[in-house]
Amino acid sequence: MNTFAIIQTLSVFDWFTGMQPTSQILVIIALAFGFYMAWNIGANDVANAMGTSVGSGALTLKKAIIVAAIFEFAGAYFVGSSVSNTIRKGIFDPALINEFYGEDGYLILAIGMIASLLAAGVWLQLASYFGWPVSTTHSIVGAVVGFGCVALGPTAINWGITDFSGVTAIASSWIISPVLAAAVSYLLFRIILKLIFFQPNPVKAAKKVAPFLVFITMFVMIAVTSFKGLKAFWKDAAWLENIQYFSNHKLGPTHPVALLITMAFAVITGVIGTVITSFMIRKIEDDPVESTQHFESVYVKRSVDKARKHLRRISSNTTGTNSSEASDLLMQLETLSSNIEKRSDPELTKSALQKVERIFVYLQILSACFVAFSHGANDVANAIGPLSAAVQTLHEGAIIAKSHVPEWALILGGVGIVIGLATWGWRVMETIGRRITELTPTRGFTAEFAAAITILIASLAGMPISTTHTLVGAVLGVGLARGIGAINLNTIRDIFASWIITIPAGACLAILFFYALKICFI
């Protein structure tokens, strides 16, 4: 099949049939800006999936791009949003545009969506240039808010201050996402440290814990993919309505049948993953006796250090015999601690820890693939939603409540994301993976897994959350588990500042582009 035949199959030309010349020009501009927005999503947001893998060394940048390209495109094309609200996120009622502008209402809406796409794309490109990981959803929401303010007035916007909805609910993720993810990540990393790294034989402990971690990881990742990435798929699953018993339930990922299928698939794949992992880690050799003895010494030293801390407290807060005996014990323990430190061998530590890290490399790559697939399925709508709204409004010559996303639009979005990732993705990956805190495969896996757990909790609780903010918070939590000194506070300051100005920046740019396009076409 040649290129022309493929384009005909995808029905691209059908959208131009019967349209006014002005509308045809606007459709071409909308396609260009939609692709530009998708390119920027790939350049900025895909770092969510791959930044920690590159930063920890689990994947090289080249391999990360290849893996992300495959899973992002698959998510975007096969399960990307097939139906998109014309005005996404319930920011304002599109019917008001007809009341304000009469016959020109559809052109105003189309121009507003095109201006929003360009504004969000420009802001994302600026953020990517400086390596700021910002939310693509907040960028496009900010742009649509700006368009709504100038087209209908600020009172038409669903600010949601009193009922915690609309813009307020979206903006609240500045706090909810990173705080929740940092807390989960901190706890998870402390548990891994206790179960593996603080044991007398970390390699043996890792081999024992890894199969259970694989089961939990597979279960959580499949649940997250279902709740976050397959949201549109479940909503569109008309076959669920044919099951009489469940026909009265609202379609979506929380539909009883969807939940049952998700849980069953998660358990089955979790068990398979556990069996395969158990078989694979048998090939990993246990540490030599010298290494085991060394880690026993490290384990003893850690316990001695805790005892010293308690004895210092007793010695300083007591008097007489109690204080004297505590001081004597403290001196003995300090001698023991010093002797253990002299017997320690940094090379043995490094060798054994590298063996543990290798086990976590596979877990991190697995989690990165799930996140990439889920991200492609969910976030392609940030480019394709407004694009489809603009194109279908121009095609119909009227404002419609919902727009079906054509197949070629999903391909356009998927290709744009992949090209953006391959050309500029490294900038934000550098920030996530290397500038916030030092990452290893264990820390990188912990951050991604904690982000997935946070997204799952938030999805089940109906809390507004941003994938970008969640992952940055998770990386921050891993760093905090090693102390505040492990965090690059300057990078954190810049990232938080970019989050705060994302919505106003998108709104201001959209206003500027809306007036420019209005002067040219109306």
Q: Which residues contact 517 (CB under 8 A, 6 or more apart)?
A: 111, 114, 115
* The pLDDT of residue 120 is above 90: yes
Which residue is associated with the tokens 């890894």? 210
* The pLDDT of residue 507 is above 90: yes
* The pLDDT of residue 236 is above 70: no
102: left (phi over 0), alpha (psi -120 to 50) or beta: left
Give the per-residue pLDDT at 346: 57
Give the per-residue pLDDT at 15: 62
Gyration radius (Cα) of the chain, Å: 27
**pTM value > 0.85:** no
Distance, CA of 505 to CA of 266 (rounded, Å): 40
Confirm if 179 and 477 have CB atoms less than 8 A apart. Answer: no
- Phi, psi (5° rounding) for residue 183? -65, -45
Question: SS3 of 256, please?
Answer: helix
Distance, CA of 365 to CA of 441 (rounded, Å): 9
* The pLDDT of residue 11 is above 80: no
Lowest pLDDT segment from 82-86, 309-313, 329-333:
82-86
Give the per-residue pLDDT at 6: 47
Confirm if 135 and 466 have CB atoms less than 8 A apart. Answer: yes
Give the per-residue pLDDT at 485: 84
Cα dist from 263 to 43, 220, 259, 288, 368, whole Å:
33, 10, 6, 41, 21
Q: Of all residues in the chain, what percent carry a pLDDT higher than 90?
A: 17
* The pLDDT of residue 251 is above 70: no
Lowest pLDDT segment from 91-100, 137-146, 246-255, 302-311:
246-255
* The pLDDT of residue 77 is above 70: yes
DSSP state of 87: S
Confirm if 358 and 53 have CB atoms less than 8 A apart. Answer: no
* The pLDDT of residue 180 is above 70: yes
Distance, CA of 288 to CA of 296 (rounded, Å): 12
pLDDT class for 506, splitting at 50, 70, 90? very high
Looking at per-residue confidence, does 318 or 195 come out higher? 195
Give the chain's mean pLDDT: 80
- Phi, psi (5° rounding) for residue 439? -110, 145
Using alpha carbons, select from 444, 475, 492 the residue that is nearest to residue 52: 444
Write out pLDDT tens, residues 436-486.
988 888 888 899 888 888 877 776 676 667 788 888 999 999 999 888 888
HSE value, Cβ hemisphere, 13 Å, CA-based, for 15: 27
For range 266-274, the mean pLDDT: 88
* The pLDDT of residue 241 is above 70: no
